[in-house]
Homo-oligomer: A and B are copies of this chain.
Amino acid sequence: MGLTIGVDIGGTKIAAGVVDEEGTILDTHKVPTPPTAEGIVDAICAAVSEAGKGHDIEAVGIGAAGYVDDKRATVLFAPNIQWRHEPLKDKVEQRVGLPVVVENDANAAAWGEYKFGAGKGHEDVICITLGTGLGGGIIIGNKLRRGRFGVAAEFGHIRVVPDGLLCGCGSQGCWEQYASGRALVRYAKQRAHATPENATILLGLGDGTPAGIEGKHISEAARQGCPVAVDSFRELARWAGAGLADLASLFDPSAFIVGGGVSDEGELVLGPIRKSFRRWLIGGQWRPHAQVLAAQLGGEAGLVGAADLARQG
């Protein structure tokens, strides 16, 4: 089989990419993300048409944040777009004249990493994405597992602290409140506020105030050895690793793949996560341990994964 298009819907850009069977992106077209729900559908169609020009495209895969139904056709709910029971597959198929598959974006990214990235050779892989929030995907027996109704693998919303932090989902204590880019920034702000003398490097990279701390400052400061930045990564890793240990108790995969912006820091964050994972893994001396691997595809995992899922129909 030939080429497919994967679509990634970002907060500022919608990207459509032509992808071959080896997961190579041959061509990409990006358009700005419109503000309205219907405008985004238009933009997806436009980006697909444009990217596909001059290619023989067989199908389109769209990665969308939120709940996608069991038929991979309807977005039941999207957190950032006013899509509620949105028949995205039908709309786009009618307009672009190609078979369309809609998939949760974190599922798509997990599939991309499993097929073409860090997961190659594994049959059972759990992928977590530490971005602004925490998402992920489940591959068991070489298949993406979407749940009966399409909404499995919502890792970010398991409850890790009873009566814990409020989450955008309306619940409390969700894992993504403790292990995500947003959590990392909160850790750094709190620590810089309480002990500014240990945060001079970190504060110096921003506007000098705890409130002005951004994620990129924390990474840079940690590389320079800033105690507050290092400790913030360690706190993130504490929660990430403990959660992976829970996922090991549940899924027992051969590998975890850690992706998302936070994981771009590589061993700075993966080392502590592995340590915390081992600390909390149940029965660690009696069982083979899953590997904890860094994602390899970066921000393209979702697009590539969506394209490949479309290929499989």
CB of A218 to closest CB in B, whole Å: 17
CA distance A171 to B178 in the complex (A): 15
**Other-chain residue from B140, B150, B157 in contact with A282 (beta carbon distance below 8 A):** B157
Establish whether residues B286 and A76, one from each chain, have CB atoms under 8 Å apart when the complex forms: yes
Interfacial chain B residues near A165, Cβ < 8 Å: 163-166, 172
CA distance A160 to B84 in the complex (A): 32
CA distance A171 to B275 in the complex (A): 15
Establish whether residues A151 and B287, one from each chain, have CB atoms under 8 Å apart when the complex forms: yes
Interfacial chain B residues near A147, Cβ < 8 Å: 124, 251-253
Chain A residues numbered 280-295 whose CB sits less than 8 Å from any CB in chain B: 280-284, 286-288, 290
CA distance A39 to B241 in the complex (A): 40
CA distance A249 to B152 in the complex (A): 6
Interfacial chain B residues near A195, Cβ < 8 Å: 275, 278-279
CB of A137 to closest CB in B, whole Å: 11
Interfacial chain B residues near A286, Cβ < 8 Å: 67, 76-77, 84
CA distance A122 to B247 in the complex (A): 24
Central interface residue in A193, A253, A280, by most chain B CB within 10 Å: A280
Q: Is A91 an interface residue (CB 8 A)?
A: no
Establish whether residues B193 and A170, one from each chain, have CB atoms under 8 Å apart when the complex forms: yes
Establish whether residues B161 and A282, one from each chain, have CB atoms under 8 Å apart when the complex forms: no
Q: Is A158 an interface residue (CB 8 A)?
A: yes
Establish whether residues B282 and A249, one from each chain, have CB atoms under 8 Å apart when the complex forms: no
Chain A residues numbered 230-246 whose CB sits less than 8 Å from any CB in chain B: 242, 245-246
Interfacial chain B residues near A245, Cβ < 8 Å: 159
Q: Which residue of B lies closest to A171 (CB)?
A: B282
Q: Is A53 an interface residue (CB 8 A)?
A: no
Interfacial chain B residues near A122, Cβ < 8 Å: 148
**Other-chain residue from B124, B163, B254, B278 in contact with A164 (beta carbon distance below 8 A):** B163
Question: Given A124-B147, A252-B149, A282-B169, are A159 and B160 also a contact pair (CB < 8 Å)?
Answer: yes
Interfacial chain B residues near A249, Cβ < 8 Å: 152, 154-155, 157-158
Q: Which residue of B lies closest to A282 (CB)?
A: B157
Top 8 A-B pairs, shortest CB-CB distance: A147-B252, A77-B286, A152-B252, A148-B254, A154-B249, A158-B246, A124-B148, A157-B282
Additional pairs, 17, CB under 8 Å, beyond known A161-B162, A165-B172, A194-B279: A67-B286, A76-B287, A77-B287, A124-B148, A147-B251, A147-B253, A148-B253, A148-B288, A149-B254, A149-B288, A154-B250, A157-B283, A158-B250, A160-B162, A162-B242, A163-B178, A174-B282
Which residues of A are in contact with B by a Cβ distance under 8 Å? Answer: 67, 76-77, 84, 122-124, 138, 140-141, 143, 145-155, 157-166, 169-172, 174, 178, 190-191, 193-195, 242, 245-247, 249-254, 275, 278-284, 286-288, 290
Q: Provide 11 A-B residue pairs closer than 8 Å at the C-beta atoms, listed in order of the A residue.
A: A140-B145, A145-B251, A146-B252, A148-B253, A153-B252, A155-B250, A157-B283, A169-B282, A169-B283, A191-B279, A250-B250
